[in-house]
Amino acid sequence: MRFARTLAVAILSLLVFSVLAQAQAQNKPAQFLQIQVTTVKPTAVTDYEDFVKKLNAARDKTPGAPVVVTYAVNLGGPAFTYYALTPFEKFAERERFPNGREMLTKVYGQAEANRLLKIEFDAITQRRSEVFNYQADQSTNPKAFDPPSAYLTLQRNELVPEMNGQYGNLMRKIKIAQEKAKDTRTIIRRTNAYGTGFTAIAITHHAKLSDRDQTNPNGGEALRKAFGDGEANQLQPIGDRSIRNRQTLFLNYRADLSHPKATAPSNE
């Protein structure tokens, strides 16, 4: 009888652990995040946004089209600028991502696809694309967001190359300190995979504008409580010494320009 009870408890524990592990995996931020930054001419905003809506309508009808979540710069950066975020787990997935021109051609026909692409090209003044790798051990209260957050704070840090390792260690310590201090924010930290080298980003999610008015635990105090005065005093200056350029943006979600759910792949 005792063996049977022990076995039952062991099986139940294993099932609970399995369910929790599966839930955590499903709620994990994507391993990679492609960020496409597009700035358009002020006079072409309406035309460009109409193009993106047509492109997303084509994505809805195209098997395998990935998630593309679009945010617009609200504060801290150039006007008329859009951030298109595409999460993915493995680069092999990208082999199945449909080509934009092919999608437009299949849905609208060759002539209309050419017209739409000309509108896009004429509207753009600048575009860049980068891919960033998720750092679980540096991210504070990490989780995936579905539906997308209404607002994001995106901090982009270009690092002094020789300080890259020390900066990563600082972020790991900051994560521990913030979570011990009961900081409720979700801050997803990533490092560059493709794009400008030695670049780190931190994305803080906000459900509403008033979230920015909340008082968060002081970073220096959190480090001292977590690691003691001596180590905290050594850690704090690393941030200033590591960063050679910093940009902080406040972005607002554009549901009308987004494709928030991946289209089911073809069975063929």
pLDDT at 7: 44
Query: What does the alpha-carbon distance between residue 56 and residue 58 come to, in Å, rounded to a whole number?
Result: 5
Chain segment 219-238, per-residue pLDDT in tens: 999 999 999 999 999 999 99
pLDDT at 239: 93
More reliable by pLDDT, 204 or 1: 204
Q: Check pLDDT > 70 for residue 156.
A: yes
pLDDT at 1: 52
Pairing relationship of beta strands 199-206 and 124-134 according to DSSP bridges: unpaired
Query: Contact 167/159 with Cβ under 8 angstroms?
Result: yes
Pairing relationship of beta strands 124-134 and 69-75 according to DSSP bridges: unpaired
Q: How confident is the model at residue 5 (pLDDT cuts 50, 70, 90)?
A: low
Mean per-residue pLDDT, 179-206: 97
Query: What does the alpha-carbon distance between residue 256 and residue 184 come to, in Å, rounded to a whole number?
Result: 29
Mean pLDDT, the chain, whole residue set: 91
Tell me the residue type at 222: A
Q: Check pLDDT > 80 for residue 56.
A: yes
pLDDT at 266: 76
Q: What percent of the chain has pLDDT over 70?
A: 90
Domain 134-251 has CATH 3.30.70.100: yes
Q: Check pLDDT > 90 for residue 255.
A: yes
Query: Contact 38/239 with Cβ under 8 angstroms?
Result: no
Confirm whether 32-131 and 134-251 share one CATH topology: yes
Q: Check pLDDT > 70 for residue 164.
A: yes
Q: What percent of the chain has pLDDT over 90?
A: 87
pLDDT at 19: 34
> What class does CATH assign to 32-131?
alpha beta
Could you tell me the two tokens for 72? Answer: 């617009």
Query: Contact 251/83 with Cβ under 8 angstroms?
Result: yes
Chain segment 16-51, per-residue pLDDT in tens: 333 333 444 568 999 999 999 999 999 999 999 999
Chain segment 99-122, per-residue pLDDT in tens: 999 999 999 999 999 999 999 999
pLDDT at 173: 98
Q: Where are the domains of the chain?
A: 32-131, 134-251
Nearest CA to 140 among 196, 213, 74, 217? 217
pLDDT at 201: 98
Mean per-residue pLDDT, 141-146: 96
